[in-house]
Structure 1
Amino acid sequence: MPPVFQHGDLRLYLLSLLDEQPLHGYGIMQALGERTGGTYTPSAGTIYPRLAKLEEEGLVTKTKDGRQAVYAITDAGRAEVRERADEIEGIQEGLADSVRLIADGVRANVREAMKSLRADLAAASAAQRSEEPPPAEDDPRVASRAELMRAEGAISSFRGSLRAELRTHVARGGRLDAAVVDALQRDLDGIVARVRDVLAR
């Protein structure tokens, strides 16, 4: 996935946010996080210098509200937003694509979970219809099911953590070389092969 904001896009998008309403710095960071579906979480070191630059250019003003600084767009800032409305629309479409990718991933995870749940329910229903007594607590099948759930939890946690790391890295403009992905694929294939080997014993 390419960086969420290309060169110069963040500056323009900040102006568009302030065109909607005045915001303090933390509110701007929150808005960016929400509108990118969590794919972009800017730091104060990223946002405040850009706001200061916009203030120098006369496009925004800064006023104190207690201990917080509130930023508001000026008439010159509104004029730039109007002149570059097409560019802003393109940025918003890019953000929508990023959020759509996340939603697709969530839907896929839900589908996998539902498939597993349906299989578990079908197995439970079959066991209930069976005349065999339920397995005892020390039955190896009970222990295996418990370990299976633990393994699935570990895999799910690993997948979520790794995806978050990769998405955050790329969203912040970091490079993701093919060699890194190739090494990841080799390591994962190796883990699968080792698990198969252990299960076959």
Structure 2
Amino acid sequence: MTMAGRGWGGEWSGEWGGGWGREGRRRRMFDSGELRLVLLKLIADQPRHGYDLIRAIEEMTHGTYAPSPGVVYPTLTMLQDMGLIEEAGSGGARKAFAATADGLAHLAERADEVERLMARLTEIGDDRRRTGGGPVGRAVANLLAALWNRVGKQRVDEKRLHDIAAILDEAAQKIERL
């Protein structure tokens, strides 16, 4: 695991590595029932299978968040047990789902909440795109990993620490001048 998203002295909002709070614990993307609504909305938009749902959310957030299969597939089973989705005849190896009339009614009853959830996912993606997302996040993760490997795992003398700080200061100044 890289150090992306972890702060060195408190919390880093983690636009690039996302989701880390104080004490290195991951913040939850969704509260109880919210992922269920997001999945139902995506399925109502067009029939989808589990992997497609994971990728759709990942695309919406520009790679910041992708729910795990261990969360998505049980949620799909729950939605199916609740009568909100049903298997759609896809004929493929993956089982696609479509929203039922009850599922569409459920979404209509919670339209404001669904709209807020979808807007939140889109905003996360917009934030990531605006901040450079992939390349900047990768570079920050590499920097933090290098620092962790050099400073966190080895005994480093005072001069070496000052050399590292000078490099970091120089990089910050160059970025500010861009």
Q: TM-score range by the shorter chain?
A: 0.5 to 0.7
Q: RMSD across aligned C-alpha pairs, in angstroms?
A: 3.2
Q: Does 1:82 find its partner at 2:82?
A: no
Change beyond 3 A, Cα 1:191–1:69: farther
Which among 35, 43, 56 is matched to residue 31 of structure 1? 56
For residue 27 of structure 1, what is the amino acid of its counterpart? Answer: D
Q: Which residue matches 1:13? A: 38
* Gap regions ≥5 residues in structure 1: 111-155, 166-182
Q: Which residue matches 1:92? A: 118
CA distance in structure 1 between the aligned counterparts of 2:82 and 2:96, rounded to whole angstroms: 17
Contact 2:61 2:123 in 1 (8 A): no
Identity %: 33
SS at 1:23's partner residue?
coil
The size of the alignment, in residue pairs, is 129
Runs of 4+ in 1 over 4 A off after TM superposition: none
CA distance in structure 2 between the aligned counterparts of 1:8 and 1:54, rounded to whole angstroms: 11
Q: Which residue matches 1:62? A: 87
Higher Cα Rg, which structure: 1
* Gap regions ≥5 residues in structure 2: 1-12, 14-18, 20-27, 146-150, 168-178
Query: What is the TM-score when the length of structure 2 is the normalising length?
Result: 0.61
Matches within 5 A, 1:21-170: 21-63=46-88, 65-106=91-132, 158-161=139-142
For residue 95 of structure 1, what is the amino acid of its counterpart? Answer: L
Deviation at 1:51, TM superposition (A): 0.2
Change beyond 3 A, Cα 1:52–1:96: same
Contact 2:86 2:98 in 1 (8 A): yes
